[in-house]
Amino acid sequence: MLGEIKEKLKESCIAILPMVILIIVINYAFLIPKNSSIEANNSTFGPVILSLIIATIPLLIGTTLFSIGAEKSVAKIGELVGNVLTKRKSIRLLLAVSFMMGFLATMAEPDLSVLSSRISPSGPDWMLIVVGAIGVGVFMVMGILRVAYNKKLRYWFPLGYGIVFTLVLLIDQSFLSIVFDAGGVTTGVVTVPFILSLGMGVARVTSKNDADDDSFGFSGLCTLGTVLFITIYAVILSKTGLITNIQNDLATKFNYNKGTDQIMNLLDSYPEMGLLYLHNFFHSLRNVAISMAPIVLFFIIFNLFVKIKGRSLYSIYIGFAFTYIGLVLFFLGAESGFMPVAISLGKFFGSAAKDDLLLFLIVGMITGFISMLAEPAVGVLAKNVSEVSRGAISKKLVIISLCIASAFSIMLNIIRIRYNIPIANFLVPLIIIAILLSLFSKDMYIGIAIDSAGVATGTMASCFFLPLSIGYVSAYYRNETNFGSYVMANGFGIIGIMSIMPIITMELIGAFGVVKEMLNQRNLLAKYIEEDDNQIVHLPLSNSEVSNG
């Protein structure tokens, strides 16, 4: 256990410390104000930076405990469910439990909770979380049916996103950013271990093709399910006029001078920093307990039938405890450290006095690149790609390509916000490109590409880049009469863009890998072919062949 904690703590340090150091450097290099009020023009050691430094401790400990706990609890339960249900050979039972587990895992997803908390004026928007969880559950079922009935993955996404963009015509376009952000954060640190473990177990039993190939793509299908169901939810909101209420709440929540969001106007002094930590601690204790309760209850009921005992049962419950404590500390650090500094940074670049687009693009590019470089999941994905491509695609190529994709996503989003360009103008072409590339890629690479979307939309996407965008919008568009609409349309959307770019990147890498593999085979074959191999050699005929001739 001690060795495992050390290893996970090392991964957490690699993931978090580079961004903390980079933000501190940016603070002093570009004269970021000492508190959340951008009128200050001197860069000093203030409550915002101190809060970030203090938050590093709960973030590191929380991420470490959560990583260990998720492997021992959520991922283990997914593996158990897959093994038990596939052995019983009851497809109906398998589908029913898979839906329930997908739903419950999504309810406990911290990144989705962070996103929903930015929308609702008082804590997480539970309706958004429930609708997203239903989407994951339904498309977890669809993914299992796809494997069982041997349906190609490449045809699901044109059909799915075709339906999405048809429904988009019926919704308030400002809500489209939230739709795709929700899809991006749904497949996060809780849902991905469960989805991958359950999907792999099901694929090995039911797949009619290569089980390893069919085990990819479940995460991407669940993302599509969230996008589709929240689009339907958006249609209802638009037709009932409730989107206007959300816009009004956002206008109040993120008001430049009098915002009600905890991270908008606190941290102007050290006492306020302490109050923020206290508020977020109790807030996290409650919300994490609410989100984790259903999945714990499900396991207790499930175990009445499978009767896990001894060390295995003890390990799962210890995993739940680690997961709970880890999530509480994670939220405490993210809400109290990364979010305030991201808001301050965004407000700084969005202020009239400091409207330096080029500098903001450079900062966005650097932070986007480093954030992806620091994600532990990127290394895991790069290793998998290198193995399935038999070395044709190196780990280094995958990592650098995803870093560039992340940096490019941040820059695109800054330009979108600055010039108030509808997010559909970016999403539609990017998704079309991804779909077209999928038509010319191997099924294995399509699945890997789709699953890679969850890699880019990790902790930094929801806890740094999202509040960075909101802070920028709150300052740049603060004098607009329909301010709430601007926050909804432009403050959100970065996670959605960040979730699509890796798909395109990995499909391009997959195409490169296929070409490189063909060239390697041709070169290898050329070594064994001699100049006279194409000559026709006439062998002497036997007497029987001559007589029959």
Question: Does 546 reside within a domain?
Answer: no
- Report whether 78 contacts 140 (CB < 8 A): no
Q: Does the pTM exceed 0.85?
A: no
Residue 231, pLDDT score:
95
Per-residue pLDDT of the chain (549 residues; tens, 9 = 90+): 677 788 878 877 877 888 888 888 887 776 555 554 544 444 456 788 888 999 999 988 988 888 788 778 877 777 777 667 667 667 778 788 888 888 888 887 878 888 888 887 666 688 999 999 999 999 988 888 887 777 777 788 888 889 999 999 999 999 999 999 998 888 766 676 667 666 666 666 565 555 555 566 777 788 889 999 999 999 999 999 888 888 888 888 887 666 555 555 556 778 888 888 998 899 889 888 887 888 888 888 888 887 888 888 888 889 889 989 988 998 888 888 888 888 888 888 888 555 688 889 999 999 999 888 766 567 666 776 676 666 767 778 888 888 899 999 999 999 999 999 999 999 999 999 988 888 777 777 777 787 777 667 776 788 889 999 998 998 899 888 889 899 999 999 999 999 898 888 888 887 777 777 777 777 777 766 655 555 555 556 566 655 555
Q: How many domains does the chain have?
A: 1
Residue 133, pLDDT score:
92
Question: Does 132 reside within a domain?
Answer: yes
The Cα–Cα gap between 338 and 62 comes to 14
The Cα–Cα gap between 286 and 283 comes to 5
CA 321 to chain centre: 24
Tally of residues, the chain: 549
Place of tokens 């880019």: 456
Q: Which domain holds residue 347?
A: 2-522
Task: Give the residue from 502, 512, 221 showing the smallest Cα distance to 378.
Answer: 502
Residue 223, pLDDT score:
86
Question: Does 334 reside within a domain?
Answer: yes
Residue 407, pLDDT score:
92
Residue 544, pLDDT score:
60
Question: Does 530 reside within a domain?
Answer: no
Place of tokens 């064994």: 528
Residue 96, pLDDT score:
84
Task: Give the residue from 157, 216, 220 showing the smallest Cα distance to 187.
Answer: 220
Question: Does 162 reside within a domain?
Answer: yes
- Report whether 99 contacts 356 (CB < 8 A): no
Helix and strand element counts for the chain (H, E)? 27, 0
Who contacts 141 (Cβ-Cβ below 8 Å, separation ≥6)?
95, 98, 99, 102
* Cα dihedral: 377, 378, 379, 384 (round 10): 90
Question: Does 547 reside within a domain?
Answer: no
Question: Does 539 reside within a domain?
Answer: no
Q: Is the dihedral of CA 278, 279, 280, 285 positive or negative?
A: positive
Question: Does 532 reside within a domain?
Answer: no
